Amino acid sequence: MNCNDPRALTNALRMPDSLWAHTATPRVDCPPLRASVNADVAIVGGGFTGLSCALHLAEAGVHSVVLEAAEPGWGASGRNGGMLCPNMKITPAELSARLGTEAGRKAADFSIASADVVMDIITRYSIDCHADQGGWLVPAHSPRALARLENIAREWHDVQAPIELLDAAQMQARLGSSVYYGGLRNVKGGKLHPLSYARGLAGAAAAAGARICANSAVRELQSDNGRWRVVTPGGAVLAERVLIATNGYTDDLWPGLRETVIPAHSFLVATKPLSDNLNGSILPGGDVASDSRRLLLYFRKDHQGRLLLGGRGSIAEPAGPQAFAGLRAQIKVLFPQLGEVEFDHHWFGRICMTRDHIPHLHEPAPGLTIALGYNGRGVAMATAMGKALAEYFIGHDASVLPFPLSEPRKIPLHGLRNQISAVAAAYYKVRDRLETV
């Protein structure tokens, strides 16, 4: 069965509408699991984490089966802003305070190198996903935010991150917007078409020997004589190891895991392709940006000249186009030269937040590893995490992992997360606004 055949997706989760779904390279063949098979590693979730792990395992001759409930890239990986953001929101000093000096430095180094991992894969496998490493901007939305960014730049400099400070004029020239006060530029950042990249990863992994199964939601994990039986509606995989890589779409497959993280929605809108004039005035050099607000706004252009703006969405799934009105209004505040611009697309996806702002790695049972919680910065980091996990599975040496393995910890009052998140979002919005007056 070919996943390009719409009948293959009948009764399955369909790829949600988005700019990326309209402009991506074709799906790769990904027949659902319809038998009991053996593998070295069974991977639950076909996003960047799972697919990158499968690719790097296959490169080392280790056989894995990726079991994806919908299709590769269906989750956040195929819907995100496609921005390579190679340093974490949390600073090196905070990382060291939370993890210890050595582990903190390892985590910082990991995030700094993460965009290079993506670009290396894209180059080696000639993945057609409009990727470039032209830098990533963090514009300051207020003078106080600029002071914070200067401190952040100093810290990342100390660990050799390639970050430079831009003054207001330099930032304005790169953005084509005068609402910011200067900020940071990480020269290793960049952009890509996320769904084409996800499909390219899936294709590369499959060509290297991994088996990728779409429409294969994992319903049960059974421990079976030192191995794992990973059960889907159509079959099962008997494997030495299991990786759960379900991030913001984590369900109840592993008891209690859902309660260790906070899923949140990020919304995006995209204009119609800009006129030559506007194209030359907005992000003229093709930069990508995510600003300094606590509830940050992120923006870029796609390969066909549309302007995209993303930001934190409602807790509930959006009921219709009206839910995106705030972003449509905001884009004209940032770029008043747009005038009465028309919009092509709006869409959303689920990110996965952790309380300590650090991705989590767990191993709650022998042979079962869990990786999740990129806090909205997973395009580069999830790819690099998949690679590190593959190295760990091959060499059985946990020191290759970028973050320590930790006990899964349920978040207190998780049942009230929607209400708490709504209050927190309102509070951050007010603080962001107060800083600009």
Ligand X SMILES: Cc1cc2nc3c(=O)[nH]c(=O)nc-3n(C[C@H](O)[C@H](O)[C@H](O)COP(=O)(O)OP(=O)(O)OC[C@H]3O[C@@H](n4cnc5c(N)ncnc54)[C@H](O)[C@@H]3O)c2cc1C
Nearest to 62 by CA among 44, 39, 45, 35: 39
Residue 263 makes contact with ligand X by CB under 6 A:
no
Residue 111 makes contact with ligand X by CB under 6 A:
no
**Angle ∠(68,211,375) on CA atoms, nearest 5:** 40
In the complex, least distance from residue 108 CB atom to ligand X, rounded to whole angstroms:
16
In the complex, least distance from residue 9 CB atom to ligand X, rounded to whole angstroms:
13
In the complex, least distance from residue 434 CB atom to ligand X, rounded to whole angstroms:
26
> Looking at 9, 19, 45, 64, which residue binds ligand X (CB under 6 A)?
45
What number of other Cβ atoms are within 10 A of residue 37's Cβ?
A: 17
Residue 205 makes contact with ligand X by CB under 6 A:
no
> Looking at 42, 57, 74, 358, which residue binds ligand X (CB under 6 A)?
74
CA–CA dist 124, 388 (Å, integer) = 18
Residue 253 makes contact with ligand X by CB under 6 A:
yes
Nearest to 38 by CA among 232, 215, 228, 218: 228
Binding-site size for ligand X (CB under 6 A) equals: 45
Alpha helix ranges (H) inside 143-229: 143-158, 168-175, 194-208
Residue 402 makes contact with ligand X by CB under 6 A:
no
Residue 132 makes contact with ligand X by CB under 6 A:
no
Q: Which is nearer to ligand X, 310 or 402 (CB)?
A: 310
Name the phi and psi angles at 81, rounded to 5: -75, -10
CA distances to 167, 176, 178, 292 from 139, in Å = 10, 12, 11, 6
Bridge partners (DSSP) listed for residue 184: 138, 165
Residue 359 makes contact with ligand X by CB under 6 A:
no
In contact, 136 and 85? CB cutoff 8 Å: yes
- Dihedral angle computed from the Cα positions of residues 250, 255, 258 and 261, in that order, rounded to the nearest 10 degrees: -120
Residue 287 makes contact with ligand X by CB under 6 A:
no
In the complex, least distance from residue 343 CB atom to ligand X, rounded to whole angstroms:
16
The region of 119-127, 180-188, 346-354, 399-407 touching ligand X under the rule CB under 6 A is: 346-354
What number of other Cβ atoms are within 10 A of residue 252's Cβ?
A: 9
Contact set for ligand X, span 362-381 (CB under 6 A): 374, 376-380
In the complex, least distance from residue 11 CB atom to ligand X, rounded to whole angstroms:
15
Q: Which is nearer to ligand X, 193 or 227 (CB)?
A: 193
CA–CA dist 109, 205 (Å, integer) = 26
The region of 39-47, 95-103, 254-262, 314-322 touching ligand X under the rule CB under 6 A is: 39-47
Nearest to 172 by CA among 164, 188, 183: 183
> Looking at 29, 251, 356, 391, which residue binds ligand X (CB under 6 A)?
251
In the complex, least distance from residue 69 CB atom to ligand X, rounded to whole angstroms:
4
Q: Which residue is nearest to ligand X (CB)?
A: 378
Residue 83 makes contact with ligand X by CB under 6 A:
yes
CA distances to 275, 399, 403 from 406, in Å = 51, 13, 9
Residue 69 makes contact with ligand X by CB under 6 A:
yes
Interacting residues with ligand X (CB under 6 A): 44-50, 67-70, 74-77, 79-83, 85, 217-218, 245-249, 251, 253, 266, 268, 298, 310, 348-351, 374, 376-380, 382
